């Protein structure tokens, strides 16, 4: 009888579950179906009080790290004092413990950053409180910023290997040399667009592998046979976080132009974020608030119903002043799969999914006049709709099926010894 335990992959996440990161929960769920045993380590507890139904299918154990510096110190050493680790009775008596604490303090001395100190303490929490008896043998972080920092630190303190998936903001708001350093220590790195892959390869040490694996979407969930024809008044729809890189002001100004042209429409937007109030105030300033409805955050099931009613999906992605940008927003693929034509921008990896004039319409970021023109054309040109909608659906099925890509990701993992049970 085989009594060997199955090795466990630790997945280090910024937060779990997060309503806006279904691509991560889908990845975990599908990897589990493939036979990979996973332990989720989350840096934060969930902000929302509900989650998508797919979360209930995930079997992985979940551990939450202390989210503050004081919490780390208190839970590890029984005191929130900055030097509590140095005053712990184990320091100087337990060689392994002492080595780890010295490493933590060296990191703080080298960086002078309390955030770096916290990330080291969170890694120590993993080594002390989570690793014993867990059968964890590898750390994989989602996002190249703080989750990757924690994974790298846990790797340094434990001797276990780590890897990471880079997405969007985490790549372009960091100094390139910081990402290069993380790539150099990681066993491998994954990213979700060809655009990202080219950039990371340009800054990676020679010979370090960067694997392109699209997120994909659940084509069983996002599926519709709705007819391409539509008529006035039109239903225009957006799903987005209220953050600069989503380019919502461009969408709103385009809506204003449609209003001035006499196009009859209603507009619905789903999402939330730190910049919500000032962004939504634009609708009042533009005088179109009576045509627009903010619906807050919604579950997949509720969003599906909104897709079914929509005639057009619009998103104005751009590069924010701090360098932040999207990869390929999953909502674009979801819309295409739901037979809702898309008007978006040429930013980042979006043209990898949408070919202008064939599977959607693309305009330059920030160009609200061109966006308004594209939106009106996509709404009123029935011949264009009848060509674009089935082509867009075919494109999503061709390159964005999450079952295909999760198998590709599992194959990447297997290259580095992370195998199914």
Per-residue DSSP letters for 178-232?
HHHHHHHHSS-EEESSHHHHHHHHHHSPTT--EEE----B-TTTS-----S---S
Asked whether residue 299 is domain-assigned, the answer is yes
Give the 3-state secondary structure of residue 334. Answer: helix
Is residue 375 over pLDDT 50?
yes
In angstroms, what is the C-alpha Rg of the chain?
23
What is the C-alpha to C-alpha distance for residues 19 and 1, in angstroms, rounded to an integer? 42
For the ranges 217-221, 259-263, 347-351, the lowest mean pLDDT is seen at 217-221
What was the pLDDT predicted at 1? 40
State residue 2's pLDDT score. 47
Q: Are 191 and 245 members of one domain? A: no
Same domain, residue pair 197 and 313: no
Determine, yes or no, domain membership for 257: yes
Q: Do 295 and 157 share a structural domain?
A: no
pLDDT reported for residue 52: 66
Q: Are residues 200 and 259 in the same domain?
A: no
Could you tell me if 198 and 288 lie in one domain? no
Q: What is the pLDDT of residues 220-243, one digit of tens each?
A: 999 988 889 999 999 999 999 999
The answer to the question of residue 224 being in a domain is: no
Residues 314 and 245 in one domain: yes
The answer on 305 and 243 residing in a single domain is: yes
- CATH code, 174: 3.40.50.2000
Average pLDDT of 247-271? 98
- Domain hosting 263: range is 234-399
Over the stretch 283-340, which tens digit does the pLDDT of each residue have?
Answer: 999 999 999 999 999 988 899 999 999 999 999 999 999 999 999 999 999 999 999 9
Q: What is the pLDDT of residue 30?
A: 86
Q: Tokens for 72, please give them.
A: 């780390």
Question: Within this chain, do residues 123 and 28 fall inside the same structural domain, yes or no?
Answer: yes
Per-residue model confidence (pLDDT) at position 187: 95
In tens, the pLDDT along 206-223 reads 989 899 999 899 999 999
Does residue 374 belong to any structural domain of this protein? yes
What percent of the chain has pLDDT above 70?
A: 97
pLDDT in tens, 359-368: 999 999 999 9
pLDDT in tens, 82-115: 999 999 999 999 999 999 999 999 999 999 999 9
Pairing outcome for strands 361-363 and 210-212: unpaired
At 48, is the pLDDT very low, low, confident or very high (cuts 50, 70, 90)? low
What contacts 239, CB < 8 A, 6 or more positions away? 269, 270, 271, 303, 313, 331, 334
Neighbours of 310 (CB within 10 A): 23
Residue 62 tokens read as: 């979940």
pLDDT at position 226:
86
Residue 133 has pLDDT above 50, yes or no: yes
Residue 289 phi, psi (nearest 5): -60, -25
Structure tokens given for 299:
């579950």
List the one residue out of 121, 125, 170, 106 whose CA is nearest residue 143: 170
Give the pLDDT band of residue 50 (cuts 50, 70, 90): low
Average pLDDT, the chain: 94
Let me know whether 289 and 340 are in one domain.
Answer: yes
Residues 198 and 279 placed together within one structural domain of the fold: no
pLDDT confidence of 146, banded at 50, 70, 90? very high
Give the mean pLDDT of 390-413: 93
| pLDDT, tens digit (0-9, with 9 covering 90-100), for 178-210 | 999 999 999 999 999 999 999 999 999 998 989
Q: Is 421 within a domain?
A: no
> Percentage of residues in the chain with pLDDT exceeding 90?
84
| Structure confidence by residue, pLDDT tens digits, 23-40 | 888 889 989 998 999 999
Q: What is the pLDDT of residue 46?
A: 84
The per-residue pLDDT for 49 is 65
The DSSP-derived string for 75-90 is: HHHS--STTHHHHSTT
> Helical H runs in 35-113?
69-77, 84-87, 95-111
| Domain total in the chain | 2
Residue 178 within a domain = yes
Residue 392, in any domain of the structure: yes
Q: What is the pTM of this model?
A: 0.89
More confident residue, 53 or 206: 206
Rounded to 10 degrees, the C-alpha dihedral 392/210/204/22 comes to 60
229: in domain? no
Are residues 242 and 195 part of one domain? no
CA pair distance 356, 412, nearest whole angstrom: 32
User: Do 211 and 240 fall within a single domain?
Assistant: no
- pLDDT value of position 300: 84
């Amino acid at each position: 009888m085989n009594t060997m335990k199955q090795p466990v992959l630790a997945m280090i996440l910024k937060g779990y579950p997060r309503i806006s990161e279904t691509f991560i929960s889908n990845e975990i769920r599908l990897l589990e179906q493939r036979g990979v045993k996973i332990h989720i380590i989350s840096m934060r507890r969930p902000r929302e009080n509900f989650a998508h139904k797919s979360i209930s299918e995930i079997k992985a154990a979940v551990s939450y790290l202390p989210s503050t510096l004081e919490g780390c110190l208190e839970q590890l050493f029984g005191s929130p004092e900055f030097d509590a680790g140095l005053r712990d009775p184990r320091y100087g008596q337990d060689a392994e413990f002492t080595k780890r604490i010295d490493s933590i303090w060296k990191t703080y001395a080298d960086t002078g950053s309390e955030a770096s100190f916290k990330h080291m303490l969170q890694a120590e929490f993993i080594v002390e409180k989570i690793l014993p008896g867990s059968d964890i043998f590898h750390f994989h972080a989602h996002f190249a910023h703080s989750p990757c920092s924690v994974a790298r630190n846990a790797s340094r303190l434990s001797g276990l290997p780590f890897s990471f998936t880079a997405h969007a903001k985490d790549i372009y708001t960091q100094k390139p040399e910081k990402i290069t350093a993380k790539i150099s220590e990681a066993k491998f790195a994954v990213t979700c667009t060809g655009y990202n892959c080219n950039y990371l390869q340009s800054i990676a040490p020679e010979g370090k592998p960067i694997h392109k694996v699209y997120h994909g979407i659940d084509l069983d969930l996002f599926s519709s046979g709705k007819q391409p024809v539509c008529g006035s008044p039109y239903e225009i729809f957006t799903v987005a976080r209220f953050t600069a890189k989503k380019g919502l002001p461009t969408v709103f100004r385009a809506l204003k132009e449609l209003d001035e042209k006499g196009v009859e429409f209603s507009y619905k937007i789903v999402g939330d974020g730190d910049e919500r109030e000032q962004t939504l105030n634009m609708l009042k300033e533009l005088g179109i608030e009576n045509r627009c409805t903010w619906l807050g955050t919604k579950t997949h099931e509720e969003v599906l119903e909104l897709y079914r009613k929509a005639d057009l999906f619009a998103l104005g992605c751009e590069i924010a002043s701090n360098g932040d940008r999207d990869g390929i927003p999953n909502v674009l693929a979801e819309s295409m799969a739901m037979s809702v034509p898309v008007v978006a921008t040429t930013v980042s990896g979006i043209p990898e999914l949408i070919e202008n004039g064939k599977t959607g319409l693309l305009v330059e970021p920030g160009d609200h006049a061109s966006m308004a023109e594209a939106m009106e054309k996509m709404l009123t040109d029935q011949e264009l709709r009848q060509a674009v909608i089935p082509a867009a659906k075919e494109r999503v099925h061709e390159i964005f099926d999450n079952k295909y890509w999760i198998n590709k990701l599992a194959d990447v993992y297997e290259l580095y010894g992370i195998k199914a049970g």
